[in-house]
Structures are given as structure tokens and as C-alpha cells.
Structure 1
Amino acid sequence: MALSRIWSAFVIIAVLVASIRIVASDNKVIFSSMVTGKSGDTIHLRQTDTTTFSEIQLHQLDSLGYMAVGNASVKRTGNGKLEYYQLQNADGIIETCKSAVNISIGLIGIMALFMGFMSIAERAGGIRLLSKIIGPFFSKLFPELPKGHPAMGHMMMNFSANLLGLDNAATPFGLKAMQSLQEINPSAERASNAQIMFLCLHAAGFSLIPVSVIAVRAALRSANPTDIFVPCMITTFVATMAAMFIVSYKQKINLFQPVIIAWVGGFSALIVLLVIYLNRLSVDGLQTFSSILSNGLILLIFLLIILGALYKRIDVFDAFIDGAKGGFETAVKIIPYLVGMLVAISLLRTSGSFDMVIDGMKTFFAFLGMDTRFVDALPTALIRPLSGGGARGMMVSTMTTFGADSFPGRLSSIMQGASDTTFYVIAVYFGAVNIKDTRYAVGAMLLADLVGVITAILLAYMFFGR
């Protein structure tokens, strides 16, 4: 029900805000933009003459070809006048529907591949073995799971893929984990405690190396593209721990059990050692290490699965085909959920609702007399739960405007690499198992996201604020 209310609120707020803006602003095509517009389209607002600008402003306009004025820009037209315009920042609902289907179609091959190998691993007993290894820890964190249940192995595969930044592998493993958890869910349409815990930990997005963020920073000529590596890792770790504490509090799980402390403490120690090592590498060295580790691990997993299956005398290809069929079905099943969520997010962005929130926050913090450098990076944090691509665009825009090595540029980089797209995760993962009542999952995820944002801001001031 919580997701239903949030989805409805997105649509209602978007339409109301757009209705107000079409009356009170120069943008009279906002409804068209929301329905049929495309990201990057030019929205023509109004024309004016040169008398409204100073000589300095006109010189800037002629030098750059455009001039920013508030939330709009100004350029010269062919008849010598000046025109106010905006660029649409997101696709309208028609294009968004197409994008949602394309995302699902793009998942089909990946889902078929990884779920095919998962099927081989299950028949060969590999998932059961992994479940036994991780069982002592997961049995405390997921008390509802029977001992040695395959879901433990599936979740471990998902967390490992997330840790290494293997998004393509993490999604199939995660969906398989949700399906395994659904098998023991007493209510077919209501999220179980185990599903909520798993999804909140997954959405916290703990990862070792934010390779894509580092690559963007390098492309934008940062003097030290990897300087956000340590704060980014710490932020994701804190957000993950926050998710664990939030859900454990709700589910009355005691996190101070010796087994949990030992596993978390041991893992934290390994992360510290890895950070010390990786922090000594150059940009190229870090990217090479990440590529070898992540891609090499995928190939190693495939090799071990095949060898294990051959040892167990499993019909390897038949097992692969059976699993791959399930991957295809899952990818198709999530289309309605993905369309619904992405359309609501599109309406929220194209209506200007999101811009109003950002402008309001800037005004509020400026009024309080606070250091407002962090506010320029907030668009990345605010849009991250809604859209990964949108957040990436915000990050690039922030670094382009203020500089890759500016405080807002670095902070937006940390925020981009420090969480997952919460509402996308909710739509895809719960949709794959037909869960309609998500209970407190959305609130827990967003609260963990908030902890991550606050941590990112504090670390940015600690590392780069002087």
C-alpha cells in the first residue's frame, strides 16, 4: 500500500504543479512536454529585445552564444531579438514507456545468461554449498530462512556482484534471490521480513570502486579523479549499516550477537586493508585492478560452476536452458511495474516539481546562513533514488558548471556512487515476484538513502571542505 500511495502522490503532485505553472509562468507547452516531449528538446518560452540587458550581459551572450538567466537561458534569434528557452530535462511519458520496455528487453539476454548459470549451480549443489558457508551469519540476519536455504546463496551472489560494481550480474542474482525468498513467503502479495531486509541492503549499494564515476571525472579533466574513492566507499558502507540497523530495529533483530559482530567486523577489516592498497594505485591502476577483479571473477564463477556440474555429472546445457527460460519470463514480467514507476518519475521531473524542491532547499539553507556549497550537489542526491541516468546527468552538469575538482563536483561524485536507484529497485524486484504490499520497505530504503546523503556531505567537508 505504501508504494501505491507514493506512486499516486507522484502523479497528483506532478499534474497539480504543471497546472499551476502553465498559468503562472511563460511555459505554455508544459503539458505537451510531459506527454510527448523528449529529453533535450528546446522549450521556447518568450521573446524580448536587447534593451532589457546590460552591455556586459550582451557581451557574455555573444561570447558564449547563450546566457543563463535563472532557470532559463537566453539566445539570439534570427530576427535580432532575444529568446528565453529551456532544455527539457527528462523524457515525457510516451518516450518513457518506450524506455521502460527497452530496459526490460535489454535485461532479457543478461537475465537468461546469469539465471542459466544459476540453474546449473543449483543442480550441482553449488548454491547449497554457498548457503552453508554464509549460513551462520545470514541465519541471524534472516531468522525466517530455513537452515541452508538456497536463497542465502543467491543473496550472497547478489551482494558480491554489487560489491564489485557488476550491475549486469547483480540484477539477475538479486531477482533470483527474491524468487527464492518468495517461495517461503507466507503471503504471496505481501513482502516478507527477509525480502525487505535483503532489498534494503541491496538498495544501499555498498560497492568497492565507483569505476563509472571515476571515469567521468577523468574525462572532465579532474586533477585527481580517484580522490573521491575513499569517501565514496565509506558512504556506501555507512548507508548499508544504516539499512541493516533500520530494518533490524523494525524486525526486532539483535545485531549485537557474536556471530553478526564477527562477520561485520571481519568484513570491515578486509575493506580497510583493501582501501589502503587501492588508495596507493594510480587512476589507470585502479581501473585496471577493478576490471581484472570484476570481469575475472565472473569468468571464474562460470568456470567453477561448469567444473562442479561436470563433477556431479549434471546435464550442463539442459540445466542452462531451463534457467535461461526463467530469466526471459522474469524480464518480461517486470515490464508493467517498470512502466508504471518510470512514468510517475517522468511526470514529477517534467512538471517542474523536482526543480521547485531544489530551489526551495537552496533558499532555505541560504536563509539559515549556512555554508551552502553542498546545496549545489543536492540535485544529484535527490534524483538518485528516482533515476540513475538522471542522477548521472546531474553529476556531470554539476562538474561541468563548477569544475570536476570543486567542492560541489566532488560531493556530487560521492553521492552518485553512494546509493542505488531506490524506486527502480522497488519496481523491478517486487514486481518480479508480484508483491503489492511493500510494507515499510520504501521508508526504510529512503531513510538509509538519507543517512548516505548526510554521510556524503560530512565526508566531503572532512576531505575537501577546507
Structure 2
Amino acid sequence: MNVIFFALVAIAFATAAWHQLRWDGEGEAPMAQLTGGVIDAAGGAVELAIALIGVMTLFLGLIKVAEAGGLLAILARLIRPLMVRLFPDVPPEHPAMGAMILNLSANMMGLGNAATPFGIRAMQALNQLNTRPGTATDSMVLFLAINTSSVTLLPTGVIALRAAAGSSDPAAILPTTLFATLCATIAGITAAFFFRRLFPLPAAPPTPPSDGDTEPQPAKDPFALPEEPTQETTAMPPDVDRPYPGWVSALALLGFLALIPLSVLYGQAIAPWIIPSLVLGFLTFGLLRGVRIYEVFVEGAKEGFYVAVRIIPYLVAILVAVGMLRASGALGAFVAFLGPITGPLGLPPEALPMALLRPLSGSGAYGIMASIINDPDIGPDSYVGYLVTTLQGSTETTFYVLAVYFGAVGIRRLRHALPACLTADLVAIIAAVIAVGVVFGSL
């Protein structure tokens, strides 16, 4: 991100300097326009973060109520039969299985950072089964491919940003995000199974011979799971180990798949009902599960407040860089060059920088998306606005995820992890273009 941030600023400065040297004295000087763009973008970033606080606290409060009521455990029990079949080399009762299920369940609910501790614990547990230290196993790669493309039922952060940008229908992207993430997940799984043939596992190191009757002691794994997992990052509901009967999971899967065509065909009619229904539904669920919904909601809302405040520096940095690009004329030239190529494919050039940056930097892509939907000439409820917010909710910061998860267990040989995850990202972009075009009338 350091290189990307510097490159954006340097390109903007060089473009404005070139225009300044050729300036004929009419109108505002290019460097003065660049200065105004910097100041306006910095102030706009803070205003955006302040507008985001209210909606972010609302959604994280609701998610906290659902989590306290056991919604994650219910989702985990539903998808466990499928996970057992996808990961036959992971014992069903191994800690890795429970951690992976909880990580994917949290991603489904759009919990973002809350899913990361479960993911790291899953990677640590998978590494206990790894007979080739430092090399990613097939299960590790498949887990990351599913993680980076995870089906998203509720992209809370993107909905909050759309609401802060003045969208008349912040939840309109739910059907398009659901379709795009489902396609990406299928592509990620398929790619992981396909590429594993091209990147076979190396031979396992030989086991050192034992000395007499003394059994060899394995080397201590510095990344091994602790004896007693800490409550903050690794606690798992006991119900995860008791999956629902197979027919219940099958019915749930069929019902979920039936939502895809319904949401795409009737997404615009359903969208106005979504947010009020979520508020009532989550509170009702928590109440029926014996949760003290008011206190728990307030506790989760506090997290939303701090999250919204913490992102202000990231928003200022990337929005200033994008504002400089726009004020210097570099962004306009880029759009004019790519327009004839990407426009007919359903990917307007305004959205292309965000699509390209998303796998590299989550904060960078988030800032570009924010600048696009807050642009008065575009807005959150335009085709471009729907597309970039769908892309944000349906793709992942792939390089960051690979670095964090593999770095947590000392994996140096990634094997087919990168091509599998990037395949899922590419399919997510294509599926998002198709879904937004169908739902919002471009196709």
C-alpha cells in the first residue's frame, strides 16, 4: 500500500505540474486546482466518517445481538456436513473444522474483522495436521480460497457506507452481492481442486530413527494451538460439534439457492423491506433466545463507533490521493482512455481502479469506492455506484489475507493459493457486472 499511495500522489503531482507548465494564464491554475482538491478531499473524508458512525453503530449492535443469541452456531451447524465433504483429510472432530466453520459463518454475516481470529485459529489447527512444515497443504489452500470468496448474506459495512452517502436504498446490493459471492465461492473451490494438480505437495521429510526404546519426540511447533484457548479469539460454541441432521442442512441449502434467482429477479421490490426487517428480525431472534437485547445492542454499537472513528486516517489518505488524481486531470485521462474498452463489457472505467485495487488493499479500495459514490456526478444509486459497492462486498483483499493467515503459521511455499484466490476474485468481478446489469437494467 505504501507504493500504491505514493504512486497515486506522484502521478497526480506530475500531471498537474505538466499542465501548470503549459498553462496559458486563463482560468484557475492547475496547481491551485490540485491544492483545492487536497483540502476538499481531506475535509470530505472526515465528514463521510462522521456520517458513517450512526449506521455503523446500528449494524454492529444488531450483529452483536444475533451473535449473542447463537446465530453463528446455528449457521455453523448447518454448513458442517458440506465442510466435512470438502475437507476429507481433516477429522470431523478436529479443532480446525470448528474454527473454519465459525470463520465462514462470520463472513456470511459480514462481520469482517470478527472473522479473522477464527480464521487464524483454523490455520493454526490445520498446520497441526501438516507433515510438511512451511508448505501450504491442500486443505489450507482450499480454506483460503473459500475464505477470500466467502458467500456474503449481509455486507453490513458497504450498506452503512451507502446509507452515509445518501442512498435512497442502501440495501439494494444484497441480491447482487449474494450472487457474486456465490459464483466466486464456486470458482474458488473449483480452482483450488484444479490447480492442486499443477502444484503437487513435495515429499514429506523422513522421520528420524528412534534410539532404542525411546520414542522420538516431535519438535515443538511455535505456532501450535494453546492448551487453553483464549476467550477473545478462539472460544467456540459447543453446539458447533453437534451438526443438524443431513436433511436439515440439505433443505437449508436448497432454500438458500432458491433465494438467488428470487433476489435477482425481485431484488428491487424486496430491497426496501430488508433493513426494517433486519432490525426487527435480529431483535426478535435475540429476545426469543433470552438475550438482553438493549444492553447487548449498546455494547455492539460502541464497537461500531470506534470502528468508524478508526477508519478516518485511512479515508483521509486514500481520498486525498484520489482527489489529487481527479483535480490534476490524471483520472479523467485514464477514464477517457479505458472507456471504449471496458464500457461495452459492463465495467465502466470509473469502476476499474477500484476493481484492480481491491485484491491489493482493502483500505485503498474502500477509499476509492467512497470517493465514487460520494461524487455528485455519480452517487450511490447510479449503475457505477451499485457496481463498485457490489464489488466491495463480493471481493476480498487477497494479498492481505494470504499474508496474515499464512504468516501466522510460518507458511513460505504458497503452492496454488494465489492463483486459486485470484481466480475467485476475477469471477466475482464478472459475476458482479452481470448481476448489477440484470438487476439495475444495464443488461
What TM-score, normalized to structure 1? 0.57
Rounded Cα–Cα distance in structure 2 between residues aligned with 1:421 and 1:142:
24
List runs of 5+ in structure 1 lacking aligned partners: 1-9, 29-42, 62-66, 76-82, 91-113, 122-126, 253-258, 304-341
* Equivalent of residue 146 in structure 1, options 91, 99, 106: 91
Q: 1:251 and 1:267, CA in 2 relative to 1: closer, same or farther beyond 3 A?
A: farther
Rounded Cα–Cα distance in structure 2 between residues aligned with 1:301 and 1:173:
23
* Equivalent of residue 388 in structure 1, options 362, 368, 371: 362
The one-letter amino acid of 2:142's match is M
Q: Which residue of 2 aligns with 1:225?
A: 170
Q: Does residue 375 in structure 1 map to residue 349 in structure 2? A: yes
1:114-170 CA-to-partner distances (Å, cap 9, x unmatched) read 9xx9xxx9xxxxx9x999986643332112212432211111111111111122331
* Equivalent of residue 155 in structure 1, options 89, 97, 100: 100
What does 1:396-407 align with in structure 2 at a 5 Å threshold?
396-401=370-375, 402-407=378-383
Q: Which residue of 1 aligns with 2:121?
A: 176
Rounded Cα–Cα distance in structure 2 between residues aligned with 1:263 and 1:232:
23
The one-letter amino acid of 2:258's match is V
Q: Secondary structure at the match of 2:351?
A: helix
CA contact (8 A) 2:187 2:424 kept: yes
Q: Which residue of 1 aligns with 2:49?
A: none
* Equivalent of residue 286 in structure 1, options 266, 274, 295: 274
Q: Does residue 460 in structure 1 map to residue 436 in structure 2? A: yes
| CA deviation after TM superposition for structure 1 residue 394, in Å | 1.0
Q: Which residue of 2 aligns with 1:423?
A: 399
Q: Does residue 210 in structure 1 map to residue 155 in structure 2? A: yes
Q: Which residue of 2 aligns with 1:409?
A: 385
CA contact (8 A) 2:79 2:249 kept: no
What does 1:246-261 align with in structure 2 at a 5 Å threshold?
246-251=191-196
- Range 264-273 or range 386-395, more displaced: 264-273
| CA deviation after TM superposition for structure 1 residue 383, in Å | 1.4
Q: 1:298 and 1:47, CA in 2 relative to 1: closer, same or farther beyond 3 A?
A: farther
Q: Secondary structure at the match of 1:435?
A: coil
CA contact (8 A) 2:169 2:271 kept: no
Q: Secondary structure at the match of 1:165?
A: coil
The one-letter amino acid of 1:210's match is P
Q: Secondary structure at the match of 2:176?
A: helix
Rounded Cα–Cα distance in structure 2 between residues aligned with 1:182 and 1:296:
40
1:367-425 CA-to-partner distances (Å, cap 9, x unmatched) read 58836762211222111112222212111211223122221111111111112211111
Q: Of the two structures, which has the highest relative contact order with CA contacts closer than 8 Å and spacing of 6 or more?
A: 2
CA contact (8 A) 1:45 1:85 kept: no
| CA deviation after TM superposition for structure 1 residue 450, in Å | 0.4
What TM-score, normalized to structure 2? 0.60
1:12-43 CA-to-partner distances (Å, cap 9, x unmatched) read x979x96xx98x99649xxxxxxxxxxxxxx9
Q: Percent identity?
A: 31
Q: Which residue of 2 aligns with 1:269?
A: 255
The one-letter amino acid of 2:123's match is M
The one-letter amino acid of 1:174's match is G
CA contact (8 A) 2:103 2:116 kept: yes
What does 1:31-42 align with in structure 2 at a 5 Å threshold?
none
What does 1:39-50 align with in structure 2 at a 5 Å threshold?
47=20
| CA deviation after TM superposition for structure 1 residue 212, in Å | 2.1
1:162-199 CA-to-partner distances (Å, cap 9, x unmatched) read 11112233111111111111110111211111011111
Q: Secondary structure at the match of 2:410?
A: coil
Rounded Cα–Cα distance in structure 2 between residues aligned with 1:433 and 1:302:
38
* Equivalent of residue 337 in structure 2, options 363, 373, 380: 363
The one-letter amino acid of 2:422's match is L
Q: Which residue of 1 aligns with 2:424?
A: 448
What does 1:130-145 align with in structure 2 at a 5 Å threshold?
136-145=81-90
The one-letter amino acid of 1:194's match is S
CA contact (8 A) 2:146 2:185 kept: yes
- Range 264-273 or range 436-445, more displaced: 264-273
1:33-69 CA-to-partner distances (Å, cap 9, x unmatched) read xxxxxxxxxx98885697443xxxx3xx6xxxxx9x7
Rounded Cα–Cα distance in structure 2 between residues aligned with 1:134 and 1:295:
24
CA contact (8 A) 2:195 2:420 kept: no
Q: Which residue of 1 aligns with 2:48?
A: none
CA contact (8 A) 1:26 1:46 kept: no
Q: Secondary structure at the match of 2:374?
A: helix
Rounded Cα–Cα distance in structure 2 between residues aligned with 1:426 and 1:298:
35
| CA deviation after TM superposition for structure 1 residue 220, in Å | 2.1
Q: 1:297 and 1:27, CA in 2 relative to 1: closer, same or farther beyond 3 A?
A: farther
The one-letter amino acid of 2:164's match is A
The one-letter amino acid of 1:270's match is F
Q: Secondary structure at the match of 1:374?
A: coil
Q: Secondary structure at the match of 2:153?
A: coil
Q: 1:296 and 1:187, CA in 2 relative to 1: closer, same or farther beyond 3 A?
A: farther
| Paired positions, count | 333
CA contact (8 A) 1:366 1:372 kept: no
Rounded Cα–Cα distance in structure 1 between residues aligned with 2:12 and 2:155:
40
The one-letter amino acid of 1:426's match is L
Q: 1:378 and 1:25, CA in 2 relative to 1: closer, same or farther beyond 3 A?
A: closer
The one-letter amino acid of 2:355's match is A
Rounded Cα–Cα distance in structure 1 between residues aligned with 2:194 and 2:413:
20
Which is strand-richer, 1 or 2?
1
Rounded Cα–Cα distance in structure 1 between residues aligned with 2:76 and 2:178:
26
Query: CA-atom RMSD, angstroms?
Result: 4.9
